[in-house]
């Protein structure tokens, strides 16, 4: 798929948000939408999208990226708390972690057009 499915991405985006604020999130969302277009082209997909789809992808990412980062951040903290509260029960903490941190961090034109599913949470 797109490759932005890692807890490392959540951590980096959270650190960027905490250190520099909203402009970084906006720039990241715009860059993510553009990157999605680039990745779609690089993966050998011959489907071309309209300029309106690319613009819609960037605009959707302006809302989607900060929401995903917020959910991942709260989920990561909750997962850690659950690990401590349950005295090391990794099943509980892993379920919380996988549900909140895994998933797509950036929307692509294929997702906007309905060609690929959007996974906000982990599967």
Could you give the CA distance from residue 66 to residue 1 in angstroms, rounded to a whole number?
21
HSE-up (13 A, CA, CB side) for residue 84: 6
N-term to C-term CA, the chain: 14
Calculate the average pLDDT of the chain: 78
Let me know if residue 107 belongs to a domain.
yes
Let me know if residue 2 belongs to a domain.
no
Number of domains present in the structure of the chain: 1
Q: Which residue range is the domain that position 74 belongs to?
A: 7-113
Let me know if residue 121 belongs to a domain.
no
pLDDT digits (tens, 9 = 90+) for 9-41: 454 555 455 555 555 445 555 555 555 545 555
């Amino acid at each position: 798929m797109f490759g932005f499915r890692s807890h490392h991405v959540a951590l980096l985006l959270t650190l960027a948000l905490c250190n520099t604020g909203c402009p970084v999130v906006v720039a990241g969302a715009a860059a993510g939408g553009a990157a999605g277009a680039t990745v779609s082209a690089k993966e050998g997909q011959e489907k071309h999208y309209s300029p309106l789809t690319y613009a819609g992808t960037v605009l959707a990412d302006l809302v989607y990226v900060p929401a995903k980062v917020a959910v991942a951040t709260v989920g990561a903290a909750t997962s850690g708390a659950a690990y401590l509260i349950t005295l090391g029960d990794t099943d509980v903490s892993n379920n919380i972690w996988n549900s909140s941190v895994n998933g797509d961090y950036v929307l692509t034109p294929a997702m906007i057009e309905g060609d690929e599913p959007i996974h906000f949470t982990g599967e």
